[in-house]
Homo-oligomer: A and B are copies of this chain.
Amino acid sequence: MSKEWAAKPLSDRGRLRTDTDGAPLYASVKQLILDKIHSGEWPPKQRVPSENELVAELGVSKMTANRALRELANEGELVRIQGVGSFVADRKGHSDLFEVRNIAEEIAERGHQHKAIVVVLAEEPASPAIADSLGLTIGCPVFHSLIVHHENDVPVQLEDRYVNPAAAPGYLEQDFTTQTPNAYLMQAAPLSSSEHIVEAVMPHAWECKLLMMLRTEPCLAIRRRT
C-alpha cells in the first residue's frame, strides 16, 4: 500500500461507533473496500491494505479489520493468503446465481447418510439428441450411467449421465456406489470448461418409480456438459 487511500479514521477510539450511519464498524470497513473495488480503483490482483494497515489508517482494532477482510473473502471479493496479503479477486464468469454442488458432499454436510444405487451402467449407441450434445455422430457408442441418490434412504436425486468414451475410458469399470461420477471424471479428465443447465420437468413414469414420487410433482433436472 502506498500511503493515503482513506481520508479519515472511521472511529474515534472506542467511543462513538454506531453513530455515523448506524452500521457496524466492520461493515463500514467492508463497504469502504468494496467501493474501491467496484469503482475500479483497485483492480483484480491488486493488493488491499493489510489488517495492520487498516488498524493504523482507520483507527479500528485488528479484530474489526480482520472480520471485514474475512467476510469479504468469504463473499468471494478478496483472496487472502497467509503470510502474503489480501488481494482483489478475479471477477468470475458472470452469473453466480447458482452453485451446483456435489450431492454426496451436500448430504454429508447435513450429517445425513448418502447412498447411491446404480440402475444403469453400460455402453449404448448415441441417440440423436445425445450425439448432438456430446458432439459425436448418431449411433456412436457412449457410456450411460443412471444413478439414484438417496439421503437417509429417501431417494432425492436421479443422475442420468452420458459420457464421451474418449474422455473417460474407464468409466464403465467404476464403482459409483462409493465414488460419485463427478469425482471420477474430475480426476480422469484434466480440465475442461463445464456448464450446468438446470431445468424443470414433469417426471416420466419410470423416473417417478425410481424416485418414489407422484407423477404430478415437478422435478428439477440438471444437465451438465463438460
Complex: chain B residue closest to A98, CB-CB: B98
Instruction: Point out the residue from B35, B98, B218 that lies within 8 Å of A197, measured CB to CB.
Output: B218
Count the A residues whose beta carbon is within 8 Å of the partner chain — how many? 27
Q: Residues of B contacting A223 with CB < 8 Å?
A: 200
**Contact A111:B198 (CB < 8 A) given known A63-B63, A95-B220, A156-B94:** no
Complex: chain B residue closest to A96, CB-CB: B106
Question: Is A110 in contact with chain B by the CB < 8 A criterion?
Answer: yes
A97 touches B100 (CB 8 A): yes
Question: Is A201 in contact with chain B by the CB < 8 A criterion?
Answer: yes
Question: Is A101 in contact with chain B by the CB < 8 A criterion?
Answer: yes
A111 touches B34 (CB 8 A): yes
Chain A 178-210 against B: per-residue CB contact (8 Å), 1 yes, 0 no?
000000000000000000011111000000000
Q: How far is the CA of A95 from the CA of B219 in the complex (A)?
A: 11
Chain A 87-103 against B: per-residue CB contact (8 Å), 1 yes, 0 no?
00000001101111100
Q: Chain A interface (Cβ within 8 Å of chain B)?
A: 34-35, 37-39, 63, 94-95, 97-101, 106, 110-112, 156, 197-201, 218, 220-221, 223
Show 28 A/B contacts (Cβ-Cβ < 8 Å), sorted by A.
A34-B111, A35-B111, A37-B111, A38-B110, A38-B111, A38-B112, A63-B63, A94-B156, A95-B156, A95-B220, A97-B100, A97-B101, A97-B106, A98-B98, A98-B198, A99-B99, A197-B200, A197-B218, A197-B220, A198-B198, A198-B199, A198-B200, A198-B220, A199-B199, A199-B200, A199-B201, A199-B221, A200-B223
